[in-house]
A = this chain, B = another copy of it.
């Protein structure tokens, strides 16, 4: 175990046990360096992870303090659906439902500002049961290759991840009731709860793709763990 890890663990201990109470100031880097008998850089290294997690807050001249309300923040990872299914031990199945080229008529949100679009709907299955309904718009200005691509056997999700660079991603998570289209494809009744992930991807300012992924509530959840250093 490295020095900075021991120090980080000790600092976390002092915070969780309220030896350093929430909202209170910590000693300066120099003082801590002296206390632990290390260089200032090592103290900074130890604190870096705690800052990253929002456990301590640092400001020039004002000093470092324990966050008064430690945010319950955690990193969530949304995997490629095929890997998710295979990793769970199930068989993965894929089905293309529709692939239709069209203009801005498809762009109901105005997100793509009149660019030529490719609209694809497909289904991902886990052990033969519908797992995710994917409804995607691709900006053909940003991804001209997509127009020539056949998504019969490969999902646009994976194709894009492999082929297309992006620089920014926005994600929305929410629940909603299945409409008739979603219900038909996911083989559930209309109104059944869905876990929906919407994601839009940009390359600099150019919108690349907008996707809505719907899952039957009973098949899908997202789990995260945080805050364990050992």
Task: Kindly state the separation between the CA atoms of A16 and B194 in the bound complex, as whole angstroms.
Answer: 33
- Find residues 159-176 in chain A having any chain B CB closer than 8 Å to their own CB: 161-162, 165-176
A212 within 8 A of B: no
Q: Chain B residues near A69 (CB, 8 Å)?
A: 80, 161
Binary interface encoding of chain A residues 162-201 relative to chain B, with 1 for a CB under 8 A from any of its CBs, else 0: 1001111111111111000000000000011111100100
Q: Is A62 an interface residue (CB 8 A)?
A: no
* B-contacting 9-mer, from A88-96, A131-139, A143-151, A219-227: A219-227
Measured CB to CB, the closest approach of chain B to A181, in angstroms, equals 16
Contact: A171 with B224, CB < 8 Å? yes
Q: In whole Å, how far is A57's beta carbon from the nearest beta carbon of chain B?
A: 14
- For A76, the chain B residues whose CB sits under 8 A away are 73-76, 173, 224
CB distance from A190 to the nearest CB of B (A): 11
Chain B residues whose CB sits within 8 angstroms of the CB of A52 once the complex forms: 52
Enumerate chain B residues within 8 angstroms of A54, measured Cβ to Cβ. Answer: 77
Q: Given A15-B165, A167-B227, A168-B227: A174 and B217 within 8 A (CB)?
A: yes
Closest to A217 in B: B175
Minimal beta-carbon separation of A222 from chain B (angstroms): 4
Chain A residues in the interface with B (C-beta under 8 A): 12, 15-18, 22, 52, 54, 69-80, 161-162, 165-177, 191-196, 199, 203-204, 215, 217-218, 220-228
Contact across chains for B175 and A195 when beta carbons are under 8 A apart: yes
Number of copies: 2
Give the complex CA separation of A54 and B69 in angstroms: 27
Q: A72-B77, A167-B228, A175-B193 are known; give 16 further A-B pairs, CB within 8 A.
A: A22-B162, A69-B161, A71-B77, A71-B78, A72-B79, A72-B169, A72-B171, A73-B78, A74-B171, A169-B225, A170-B225, A172-B223, A175-B175, A175-B195, A177-B217, A193-B194
A16 and B16 CA atoms in complex are apart in Å by 40
Contact, CB under 8 Å: B175 / A194 = yes
The 6 A-B pairs at the shortest CB distance, nearest first, are namely A193-B193, A175-B175, A174-B221, A175-B217, A73-B77, A175-B195
